Chains A and B, each alone.
Chain A
Amino acid sequence: MVRSTITNLFQEVAREQQRQLAPLTDDLKLLQCGLDSLSFALIVARLEDALGYDPFDTAESFPVTFGDFIRLYEARAA
């Protein structure tokens, strides 16, 4: 569920920001997925609205790949 929410939001924000999104594989580096910092900021804000939490609050490190990003949210959901 978390994964599909995140995937959908990446696609939604990419459309809005008119950015070309790379195929979302777990080993895709976030900074190479086609989105800029503002896009990530929008995704994180909307995820907080959708899921009710922001795992960056307690994250030990910043996610580097798309898989890291998913795991960050899944770990909090668990």
Chain B
Amino acid sequence: MSAMALWDSVMATAAARGGALIGPARAVPLASLARASCLPGRLDALRGRSVIVALRDQLTAAIALLELDGLARRMVVCTPDLAPEHLPHVARGAQADAWLGDAASSAPPEIAGLDFALDAEALPQPCEVERRASCATEWVLLTSGTTGAPKLVSHTLASLMSAFAHHPADAGAAPVWSTFYDIRRYGGLQIYLRALHAGSLVLSSAGEATSAFLARAAAAGVTHISGTPSHWRKALMSGTIEGFSPAYVRLSGEIADQGILDALRAAFPRAVVAHAFASTEAGVGFEVRDGRAGFPATLVGKTDDGVEVDVSRGTLRIRSPGNAAAYLGVGAPSLRDPEGFVDLGDRLELRDGRYFFVGRSGGIINVGGLKVHPEEVEAVINSHPRVRMSLVRSRRNPITGAIVAADVVLADGAAGGGEPAADERIRHEILETCRSLLAAHKVPAAIRFVPALEMSASGKLVRPHESPGSSHNDTQKHVGARESGGSGGAG
């Protein structure tokens, strides 16, 4: 094999410009990794293997991914919040035969074939390292699935870098990138890879207050920074952005509405404010820099970068070199449609030459960048003995973009006409069940008892399509019932 490994291109670019990976407690100059490793003397033990990268520490993971590309056959990039009960599914799907953990990782799952485990050093240790690429490593990212178990999305380094590989770094001062995302998520991984080819990267930290992170970013001279609209709303609410003056502010992972775009424009008058349309599966489609919600219709078609944007079926579809290759695992669904497009699931409406988002197909709800599949929540609600059926839907929210709301039909038909105290008790019981079985962002913020839910001719629950308030266009904000969705995108 001869594909250029990440290591080689990083040494030729960011490392040569003095780039570093900067965590909350320590910084690692990229050039120092020429003679240091988090797996001193043991790197070759992972050569050719399918490795579960289960490191908890983000900085260690940032170094390990750099060290393993071109060496491991496959890297499964575990998110730090991956529940241990999902590990066997992930390991089987990736046909993993090696485990890379650290002091804080959970134990590797006991499954056939996964018989080799290593712990990485938290700090790179000085050693002689021969870095020799021997394969084009497959990068496997995890994204949430309908049942709660993650889906395994297979990328290559080339597909992950396609959005910027052909845009050489600016000749001026090396940029300092940062992101609110963890780099193990697609949106964060994009920033990680960009930074590794341009300058430095300031990593966020899960336990760190927004104000502390922003202070650290400002002190490190961050010039380029990304996050979801929810991350940015929280940043603005922190009241600590004074003194921070990035040149480029990026939003992704959720639909950016006009309110947050205007607020960022006011907060960072010197910055380019861009919102990107992307998903783990589709890759980065495009970004919009005109400060307006939605995107101009002129973007539909094929761009110079080989990205094809299609809206002919009412949702945003992308066919590009940035698309993932496939879902992994036995019986995994096809990632592309028959025409080779990946559907982002964002439903669109054309108004005055511009496409605006009007909700999600399949009813997926995006709560502050975290996807919620309605079916998973409905299954929990329906487990209550008094519930006949339920419909979980999105409700627009100015803080997290959307929140989860539920319409519930009771088995005895008492909905709406039942004793208020009895209804309240059932509501309380349903919520308690949801809280005990679901992550907090999946628990309905509101439960409404209704007499019936609409069914289609084929007997399926009719999921709500657009309501007027679902628009992400500022001019539509005051209209309607405000039952909106968000995007499941990232990047």
A residues apposed to B, CB below 8 Å: 17, 29-32, 37-38, 40-42, 44-46, 48-49, 54, 56-65
Query: Are B445 and A42 touching (Cβ within 8 A)?
Result: yes
Q: Is the CB of B400 within 8 A of A38?
A: yes
A41 touches B400 (CB 8 A): yes
A37 to B446, CA, bound (A): 17
Point out the residues of chain A lying under 8 angstroms from B441, CB to CB: 38
Q: Which residues of B contact A62 (CB under 8 A)?
A: 233, 236-237, 263
Residue on B nearest A56 in the bound complex, by CB: B398
CB-CB under 8 A from A32, the residues of chain B are 209
**Most A C-beta atoms less than 10 A away, residue of B230, B259, B397:** B397
Write the nearest CB–CB distance from B207 to chain A, whole angstroms: 12
**Extra pairs beyond A31-B239, A45-B445, A61-B263 (15, CB < 8 Å):** A30-B237, A31-B209, A31-B210, A31-B234, A37-B233, A38-B441, A40-B237, A41-B403, A41-B445, A42-B445, A44-B397, A44-B398, A45-B397, A61-B266, A65-B239
Question: Total A-B pairs in contact (CB under 8 Å)?
Answer: 71
Within 8 Å by CB of B234, from A37, A54, A60, A61, lies A37
Once the chains are docked, how many angstroms separate the CA of A41 from the CA of B443? 12
Q: Which residues of B contact A30 (CB under 8 A)?
A: 237
Return 9 A-B CB contacts under 8 Å, by A number: A38-B440, A40-B237, A41-B367, A41-B368, A44-B397, A45-B445, A45-B446, A54-B398, A57-B477
Kindly report which residue of chain B lies nearest to residue A48, judged by CB atoms.
B482
Q: Select the residue from B209, B210, B395, B398 with max chain A CB neighbours within 10 A.
A: B398
In the complex with contacts A17-B440, A37-B234, A57-B477, A64-B397 CB distance below 8 A: no
By a CB distance below 8 angstroms, the chain A residues around B209 are 31-32
Inter-chain contacts of A59 with B (CB < 8 A): 259
- Of all chain B residues, which has the CB nearest A57? B477
Q: Is B238 in contact with chain A by the CB < 8 A criterion?
A: yes
Residues of chain A with a CB closer than 8 A to B398's CB: 44, 54, 56-57
A31: B residues at CB distance < 8 A: 209-211, 234, 237-239
